Structure 1
Amino acid sequence: MKSSFFRVVASLALALPALAQDLAIKAERVHTVSGAVIENGVIVIKAGKVVAVGTERQVQPPAGVRVLTAKVATPGLVDAHSVVGLAGYLNQPHDQDQHDPGAPLQPELRAIDAYNARERLVEWVRGFGVTTLHTGHGPQALISGQTLVAKTRGETVDEAVIVPRAMIAATLGEGSREEGRGKSPGTAGKQLAMLREALIGAQEHQKKLRAAGDDATKKPERDLRKEALVDVLERKVPLLVTANRHQDILSALRLGAEFGVQIVLDGAAESYVVLDEIRRARVPVILHPPMARFVGELENASRSTYSKFSDAGIPFALQSGYESYVPKTRVVLYEAGVAAAYGLGAEKALRSVTLDAARLLGLEARLGSLEVGKDGDVALYDGDPFEYTTHCVGVAIEGVVVSDQAR
């Protein structure tokens, strides 16, 4: 009984919110991602930020600072798209907040109002080295809601979230169709018509707001839906469009060009047949997980797509994505490992879940590599991170050790 009590106390202490701390890490190999691999490297973190990275001859841990050791150290992993924190591990109605079936267009739904920082899946993915999640409403509606960016720490939204509103999530294709239910949208044409109608309505609202200026008496009535889409029109927030069929991908690109909005493609299973169009549109892509089930809209997906994007010079990142069944998420560490084996290579695969993912989210100044001035987010492994026999043996977020058990 006493040992169980102390285990509970220890686990609660690890979960409690902690301020940024000082820490030193020694590793036989340090993958900075932004530069060369450092053999026998040392990372020093002060007040939550990296203050030194180098060989053990160049950098010495400060006296009195906790020192962790491992075979391999990498930047904390960044999951470029997930639903963790809204979708819970129990897969029951009470912990599935990633989709509200009440209406096909709900851009006003805020992820911060649904995110559960104590969801066990947050702790679970953190144990594999994931320190940052881009998560929110899932690809089950024409516009399902907003997304956020959170660190995998803390017990409340305020402690975890670093970007309260990252993108607004839309879906083209089978995921948002209401076929056979007597509701709209039931076809691809109707999907685009409804999106265009919503954006045109937001344009009219935008004109009224501009005409009113600072005169509160002339401002139109508050409309959360239109206000959210006005921010898309003003490029304050990107439109994240899940589209897997090549024709839906092209429709998303046309929509972006018509309204001048910033598009981020998601999934993009058949993107390899429209690489030139994606490159010309200068649209970043969060590619589907390599271990997703290749059925339905993903029936033509290819695990060589990642290397083709790399060769084409198109910005992309990997994701865990939406999983409809338990455990409701994948792990980007393993997804990157599969992409590496299918031609992307280990170095670029690691970038796709660290620096490239951070850059796609606009957070490369803070996340994604082990550089002086960046957040002290580090994942530690007892071998090659992409080998299935390797364990994640430690995780630090802003210098705070949030996991120290092998997984």
Structure 2
Amino acid sequence: MKLIYRQILLTFMCLPFIAQAQQTPAPQQTEAVTIVGATAHLGNGEIIENSLIIFEDGKLTQVMDANTKIQYRGKIIQAEGKHVYPGFIAPNSTLGIGEIDAVRPTLDEDEIGEILPNVRSLIAYNAESKVVESMRPNGVLLGQIVPRGGLVSGTSSVVQFDAWNWEDAVIREDDGLHINWPSAFRRGRPWRDEDPNLKPNDEYNKELQKLSSFFGEAKAYLSGNRDYTNLAYLAIEPVFSGEKKVFVHVNGEKEILDAVQFKKDQGVQHLVIVGGYHAVDVASALVENEIPVLVNRPHSTPAMDYEDYDYPYKLAKLLHDQEVLVGLESSGQMERMNTRNLPFYAGTVAAFGLEKEEALKMITSNTARILGIDENYGSLEKGKSATLFISEGDALDMRTNIISHAWIDGRAISLETHQTELWKRYSNKYKDEDKE
């Protein structure tokens, strides 16, 4: 009986979130748009101080200096003194597959089992998520939706953040397989009377053997007669052909080197390190094997007592200086809500030594390259998707990231969210009180 009451309670707790749906997604672009006079940050390291940007049918047709004589088309937006950016991209996110941490029925990011390559995050993606909606006012318009848990979590997909459903949202379907690399060391568990200090993990080699055996079995199955259907093995096939990347979530120096060796041993064509806290110590191996790194959020504290206080802030720069291809991700505590801070993570990286346009690339063109969507997204270039926004000021600074217009594939999207509605409501309340 208690279980029934609990289920009823959770259902009613979820009702407000179900009833308040996301705004209607924007319709297809029907009129050309011309943006004149803004400082255009192209996302590839270049800036056009006085820019002219034209797009129609969802594609950029002109990106040039405004002094060039060319006929304007369609709706004209005078944006002198403002800034234009490509839409920011959030990799390694659970947006849309989790809503409220305290309400279990709203979480769909993890499945039961250890090795689940055939689990697809895309079909669980909720395009009407209130949290997804709140990304857009900060310029975060695209994301890689990633499952969690187990040794092999499953397969991610890349989506845009203004859609009716997952079918409309998808940009790149089943882009990558995600592996949670085991740790070579672990801390003792005091509740079991173990020494709390770090010590070698006795299960480490066993876990690696389990992973290698699975890949070996998948190869044997795929090269055989396939007398029966094995969905897990079939999900690995695109990894060997290079169509699907392998994202290895790993931080330790030894573990990263083991992941690099795993890439070689298993014939994995494209591997990406996610997290990479100690990747700077093995940067040469990453560069040699053309392995990029999605660095965990800079807004965190050092993991070790002996590390510089600002090590998380400058890690992306340290890797960049050694010619590693770097993107920024935001997993961790309250990761879905904190993803809206993605531009400010790039701003912090810039504040700690990296040139600002290089920091911008870590949430635009670099991330697009890593996710395999750079042909259409990640930079403002002729022929690419018109996924961009206009900001009143520097979009990497929370004081001036004030967005007036945003487009996804040329569609003028709404910037209203539950948060903006509350802000307007209560700001008016206090204005009325001041008049009294």
TM-score, normalised via structure 1 length: 0.85
Q: How far apart are the structure 2 equivalents of 1:116 and 1:348?
A: 32
Q: How far apart are the structure 2 equivalents of 1:321 and 1:238?
A: 19
- Alpha-carbon distance, 1:324 to partner: 4.7
**Is 2:92 the counterpart of 1:84?**
no
| Correspondence for 2:295 among 277, 283, 287 | 287
Superposition RMSD on alpha carbons, in Å?
A: 3.1
Cα 1:284–1:35 change in 2 (3 A) is closer
Among all aligned residue pairs of Structure 1 and Structure 2, give the percentage whose two residues are the same amino acid: 23
**Is 2:83 the counterpart of 1:72?**
yes
Q: How far apart are the structure 2 equivalents of 1:109 and 1:61?
A: 50
Cα 1:35–1:241 change in 2 (3 A) is closer
Kept in 2, the 8 Å contact 1:316–1:352? The answer is yes
Helix, strand or coil at the partner of 1:396: strand
Helix, strand or coil at the partner of 1:252: helix
Question: In the alignment, what sits opposite 1:170?
Answer: 179
Question: In the alignment, what sits opposite 2:341?
Answer: 331
Kept in 2, the 8 Å contact 1:45–1:399? The answer is yes
Question: In the alignment, what sits opposite 2:315?
Answer: 305
Kept in 2, the 8 Å contact 1:166–1:238? The answer is yes
- Alpha-carbon distance, 1:33 to partner: 2.8
Question: In the alignment, what sits opposite 2:434?
Answer: none
Cα 1:51–1:186 change in 2 (3 A) is farther
Question: In the alignment, what sits opposite 1:379?
Answer: 389
Kept in 1, the 8 Å contact 2:142–2:158? The answer is yes
**Is 2:216 the counterpart of 1:200?**
yes
Kept in 2, the 8 Å contact 1:24–1:65? The answer is yes
**Is 2:239 the counterpart of 1:232?**
yes
Q: How far apart are the structure 2 equivalents of 1:396 and 1:15?
A: 14
Q: How far apart are the structure 1 equivalents of 2:100 and 2:65?
A: 41
CA displacement 1:234-257 (0-9 Å, x = unmatched): 322111100011121112111111
Kept in 1, the 8 Å contact 2:176–2:247? The answer is yes
- Alpha-carbon distance, 1:168 to partner: 0.8
**Is 2:188 the counterpart of 1:188?**
no
Question: In the alignment, what sits opposite 2:150?
Answer: 141
Instruction: Please tell me the residue identity of whatever aligns with 2:407.
Output: A
Question: In the alignment, what sits opposite 2:105?
Answer: 94
- Alpha-carbon distance, 1:269 to partner: 0.4
Question: In the alignment, what sits opposite 1:220?
Answer: 227
Question: In the alignment, what sits opposite 1:5?
Answer: none
- Alpha-carbon distance, 1:15 to partner: 2.6
Q: How far apart are the structure 1 equivalents of 2:212 and 2:158?
A: 27
Q: How far apart are the structure 2 equivalents of 1:13 and 1:188?
A: 44
The structure with the largest alpha-carbon Rg is 2
Helix, strand or coil at the partner of 1:203: helix
Q: How far apart are the structure 1 equivalents of 2:182 and 2:133?
A: 32
Helix, strand or coil at the partner of 2:43: coil
CA displacement 1:57-105 (0-9 Å, x = unmatched): 32667454253636111111112321111122454212221112x1111
**Is 2:265 the counterpart of 1:255?**
no
- Alpha-carbon distance, 1:330 to partner: 5.0
CA displacement 1:183-204 (0-9 Å, x = unmatched): xx98322221111111011011
| Correspondence for 2:142 among 129, 132, 150 | 132
- Alpha-carbon distance, 1:55 to partner: 2.8
| Correspondence for 2:53 among 32, 43, 55 | 43
CA displacement 1:266-316 (0-9 Å, x = unmatched): 00001111112212222111111101354489x896322211222211112
Q: How far apart are the structure 1 equivalents of 2:154 and 2:319?
A: 28
| Correspondence for 1:274 among 282, 298, 302 | 282
Q: How far apart are the structure 2 equivalents of 1:387 and 1:41?
A: 21
CA displacement 1:376-406 (0-9 Å, x = unmatched): 0112211112222112332111121113469
Q: How far apart are the structure 1 equivalents of 2:71 and 2:100?
A: 39
Question: In the alignment, what sits opposite 1:7?
Answer: none
- Alpha-carbon distance, 1:112 to partner: 1.6
Q: How far apart are the structure 1 equivalents of 2:336 and 2:165?
A: 24
Kept in 1, the 8 Å contact 2:273–2:291? The answer is yes
Question: In the alignment, what sits opposite 1:346?
Answer: 356
Cα 1:63–1:342 change in 2 (3 A) is closer
Query: Which structure 2 residues correspond to residues 15-30 of structure 1 after superposition, within 5 A?
Result: 15-21=24-30, 22-30=32-40
Cα 1:296–1:142 change in 2 (3 A) is farther
Kept in 1, the 8 Å contact 2:58–2:410? The answer is yes
Instruction: Please tell me the residue identity of whatever aligns with 1:399.
Output: G
Instruction: Please tell me the residue identity of whatever aligns with 1:263.
Output: L
Q: How far apart are the structure 2 equivalents of 1:77 and 1:253?
A: 29
Question: In the alignment, what sits opposite 2:166?
Answer: 157
Question: In the alignment, what sits opposite 1:245?
Answer: 252
**Is 2:68 the counterpart of 1:58?**
yes
Instruction: Please tell me the residue identity of whatever aligns with 1:286.
Output: L
CA displacement 1:354-394 (0-9 Å, x = unmatched): 11111111221211111110000112211112222112332
- Alpha-carbon distance, 1:350 to partner: 0.5
Q: How far apart are the structure 1 equivalents of 2:236 and 2:266?
A: 11
Instruction: Please tell me the residue identity of whatever aligns with 1:252.
Output: A
Helix, strand or coil at the partner of 1:189: helix
